[in-house]
Structure 1
């Protein structure tokens, strides 16, 4: 039984949507994980470091 173009498009759209939803949930869980809080707080204030010298 040959698969029609419309069936392939439906499969691609469905699995693409599920993939993006799962990826979004993973990213949100990573961003709001309690043990990452300190790391993110340090990264948010590092730009205010008062170093006026070159990197090395």
Structure 2
């Protein structure tokens, strides 16, 4: 494979499957952050340094 052919193949992969992968990752992060109960867990984690045990 020549350098230009490798570049073209990688560019084609990034334009199709790479973009799909990034979109699925983004969707997963959004669903993880905005899932039910996430605010309560985040508030509990944020208060850990302020606790006096």
Which range, TM-score by smaller chain?
Answer: 0.5 to 0.7
Structure with the larger helix share: 2
For normalisation by structure 2, the TM-score amounts to 0.64
For normalisation by structure 1, the TM-score amounts to 0.62
User: Which runs of no fewer than 5 residues in structure 1 stay unpaired?
Assistant: 52-56
Task: Tell me which of the two structures has the higher relative contact order, counting C-alpha pairs closer than 8 angstroms and 6 or more residues apart.
Answer: 1
User: Which runs of no fewer than 5 residues in structure 2 stay unpaired?
Assistant: none
Shift of 1:10: 2.6
